[in-house]
Amino acid sequence: MSTIPEELRYTREHEWVRVDGDVATVGITDFAQSQLGEIIYVELPPVGRAVAARAVIAVVESVKAASDVYAPLGGEVIETNAKLIEEPGGLNRSPYDDGWLVKLRVADPAEADALLAPDAYAAIAKE
């Protein structure tokens, strides 16, 4: 079974979100990285880009497939994990810590209430 940290929120598309005030850190779940296999390339948005909730925010390529990563919340990109450009395998090794993708200044933190709790996400990941 994949790791599903209790303090995070999740999407049906296998993104995780850590909300701290009006900043949301976004990544892909352990389940997602295990399904993708070895990640070989990551494309991140420019800092300053405004994104709508559910819009494509990044692209992750593995030896198996390329996958879009969707913004779980709307806001502005304030930081990207540039280490992943040089070392995309960080997503495989540490999807919840070193493998985060972007940080957003969230337009409406209440949007996070609509995201999945860990138990709800676990049920989806088992399907």
Specify the pairing of strand 66-70 against strand 75-80: unpaired
Instruction: Give the confidence band of 116 by pLDDT, cuts at 50, 70, 90.
Output: very high
What is the residue type of 107?
Answer: A
Q: What is the pLDDT of residue 19?
A: 94
Dihedral sign for Cα 86, 88, 89, 91, please: positive
Go through the domains of the chain in sequence order and give each one's CATH number: 9-110 (2.40.50.100)
- Kindly write down the DSSP assignment for every residue of 1-17, as one continuous string: -----TT-EE-TTSEEE
Provide CB contacts within 8 A for 127, sequence distance 6+: none
Q: How far apart are CA 65 and CA 80, in angstroms?
A: 22
What does the pLDDT average to over 55-73? 96
- The mean pLDDT of 94-115, rounded to a whole number, is 94
Question: In 3D, which of 61, 96, 103 has the Cα closest to residue 81?
Answer: 103
Q: What pLDDT score does 2 carry?
A: 75
* 22 to 33, 104, 124: CA distances (angstroms): 27, 8, 27
Average pLDDT, the chain: 95
> Can you count the helices (H) and strands (E) in the chain?
4, 9
